[in-house]
Chains A and B, each alone.
Chain A
Amino acid sequence: MWFHSKRLRWTIPWLFLAPALIVFTWFKFVPIIRGLVMSFYKVRFSGSDQWVGLANFERAFSDSALHAATLNTLIYVVSTTIAGGVLSFAVAMALEGQARHIRIIRTAIFIPAVTSIAVLAEIWRILFYPGATGVVNQMLGVFAIAPQGFMSDPDQALFIVILLQIWKNVPYNMVIFIAGLASINRELYDAASVDGASALRKLWHVTIPGLVPAFSVVIMLSLIRGFRVFTEVYTTTGGGPADATEVIMTNIFKTGFERFDYGYAAAVSFLLFAFTVCLTIVHVTVKNRIDRT
């Protein structure tokens, strides 16, 4: 048969790769290149596109709405990374172990991590309903706190969306930490006990150093998710009220699909992509340096 012939053997790997290469080229590589090219043009619907050089990028550096969105994104990223990381570590410590009831609790609290964001957003809108009937407002009522505006209050909206992201991430990160905890050598704990180390010292000198790889994964996931965040914001607040929760991706979405300014939207997307790549490179470099020491 043809694949036994020496002359055609070289085609075999390419035949296996062909379906993947087709979908990756069509839906990843071509859009990346097209996006890059578009960012140098003013895209028009009638007539041909107009070359504008770096004008779209220059505009990005003086666009105050984009700057506000970037600041919100940074707040979002920093708070979900730090609070999410610390909380998931704490939950992992509380739910470590192989006992049956602990395994059941771990499975149960994982539900938010596997539910789609669109559903979580609807649950969040019910819990944090701004009127007195809302679940959280009723709870606050018990402590005689007046009903809050939550996602309809520009001062609170971003915080509530951040809480949603943390709620979804904590169970997910917890499993990564649990795996990390399981990989720590038990003898290190025994040795520390023999040396008379307190629980706190064991945590600081054995557990946390042993979890560096897990922390590294959790932080990286959280940073990448944070910078590209779209659905969490779009489905809860849509960027409002008064742009209080506008992030980079919702800003790009509106520029592209509501104002049809494709060239500029593509340019901002490209900046975000370039930034994500830099972030990954920094992360890998730092990680390699830590691994070596």
Chain B
Amino acid sequence: MKMTIPQRIARGLVYALLLIVFCGPFWGIVATAFTKNTVQPGQLVLWPSNPTFDHFIYAWTEVKIWIYLFNSLFVVAIATVLQTLVSALAAYALARKKFRGAAIVSLAIISTMMLPDEVIAIPLYLILHAELPLLHTSIYNTYAAMILPVVGWAFSVFLLTEFMKAIPRDLEDAARVDGANELQIFWRVVLPLVRPALGTATIFGFLMIWDQYLLPLIAVDDRNLYTIPVVLRSLRVDEVLQQNIFIAVTVIATVPCIVVYLLLQKQFNRGLMSGAVKG
């Protein structure tokens, strides 16, 4: 369709407006983080004058942001892998096996999809504090307390179950005739066939776990275990911390999500769309 010149200009203006509104603030924090001169609170610059890495170096060595970055990355890496694995195992049973109780199990798991995690925060806090049998200690104030509660995620189980249902029985039967056992069928036949869905489950899991705020807030109170989202709030109220350094910290906290999103964009969009089509 050919557009007239005024139409082209109008389109261009709309694009520019959208980019300014949705990306402008991110550009602002990046430019400010690289600016040598101290900015006033609330101020952002459009272009770094006297560009410098100093604020990042200070954030890294003095604020020790690497501790919190490590905590976040450690929790998100372990939890995402466990979440996807546990979901895939469960999905295999729900999608490929007929057994008594299957309906009840899938209903129980799917019912937690409607459950906002926030409403179980208080009982969860008490359960994290509870002493485990035999171990005589609780998982409170450990990485496990931030990891284990997010391992069970109904969305991921549901998504993988739907995809595993679509695999033809013949492939599984052929493998079985060749003498493959259940684990081999799961690992060598079914998982490779649902690889795109695994990608989708992984990126949604990553973002969901990275974004956890209330859970680390109630799961640990040792500052050395804080994740990036939790530590931001305590750094903000730190009066001595220069504004540019705080902004540099914010930039560091933004990078992992954006990198993961750009790398796994295709899988991400597929996930959103499968949600839209199913309604």
**Which A residues lie at the B interface, using CB under 8 A?**
1, 3-4, 10, 12-14, 16-17, 19-21, 23-24, 26-32, 34-35, 38, 91, 94-95, 101, 105, 107-112, 114-119, 121-123, 125-131, 133-135, 137-138, 167, 170-172, 175-176, 179-180, 183, 213-214, 216-217, 224, 227-228, 230-231, 234-235, 249, 252-253, 256-257, 262, 265-266, 269-270, 272-273, 276-277, 280, 287
Query: Contact between A34 and B123 (Cβ–Cβ < 8 Å)?
Result: yes
B14-49 vs A, Cβ < 8 Å mask (1 yes, 0 no): 110011011101101100000000001111100000
Given A13-B99, A122-B236, A213-B276: A111 touches B23 (CB 8 Å cut-off): yes
Q: Smallest Cβ distance from A122 to chain B, in angstroms?
A: 5
**Chain B contact patch, size range:** 35 or more
Given A179-B276, A269-B120: A114 touches B258 (CB 8 Å cut-off): yes
A-B contact pairs, 18 of them (CB 8 A): A16-B182, A20-B109, A27-B127, A28-B120, A91-B18, A116-B253, A122-B232, A126-B41, A129-B42, A130-B42, A131-B41, A135-B44, A176-B273, A176-B275, A179-B269, A179-B272, A217-B279, A272-B119
Query: Contact between A19 and B86 (Cβ–Cβ < 8 Å)?
Result: yes
Query: Contact between A117 and B229 (Cβ–Cβ < 8 Å)?
Result: yes
A213 CA to B49 CA, complexed, in Å:
49
What chain A residues lie within 8 Å of B92 (beta carbons)? 16
User: A234 — nearest CB in chain B belongs to which residue?
Assistant: B213
Query: Contact between B102 and A108 (Cβ–Cβ < 8 Å)?
Result: no
Query: Contact between A118 and B230 (Cβ–Cβ < 8 Å)?
Result: yes
A17 CA to B100 CA, complexed, in Å:
13
Query: Contact between A253 and B275 (Cβ–Cβ < 8 Å)?
Result: no
- 4 smallest CB-CB distances across A and B, nearest first, come from A129-B42, A118-B229, A134-B42, A228-B116
Question: B167 contacts the other chain (Cβ, under 8 Å)?
Answer: no
What chain A residues lie within 8 Å of B105 (beta carbons)? 17, 21
A-B contact count (CB 8 A): 266
What chain A residues lie within 8 Å of B257 (beta carbons)? 114-116
Query: Contact between A24 and B181 (Cβ–Cβ < 8 Å)?
Result: no
Query: Contact between A26 and B148 (Cβ–Cβ < 8 Å)?
Result: yes
What chain A residues lie within 8 Å of B218 (beta carbons)? 257
User: B207 — nearest CB in chain A belongs to which residue?
Assistant: A114
Query: Contact between A256 and B108 (Cβ–Cβ < 8 Å)?
Result: no
What chain A residues lie within 8 Å of B276 (beta carbons)? 176, 179-180, 213-214, 217
A21 CA to B19 CA, complexed, in Å:
45
Contact of A117 among B14, B211, B261 (CB under 8 A): B211
User: A28 — nearest CB in chain B belongs to which residue?
Assistant: B112
What chain A residues lie within 8 Å of B112 (beta carbons)? 24, 28-29
B125-142 vs A, Cβ < 8 Å mask (1 yes, 0 no): 111000000000000000
Q: Which of B187-201 contact A (CB under 8 A)?
A: none
What chain B residues lie within 8 Å of A180 (beta carbons)? 276
User: A287 — nearest CB in chain B belongs to which residue?
Assistant: B279
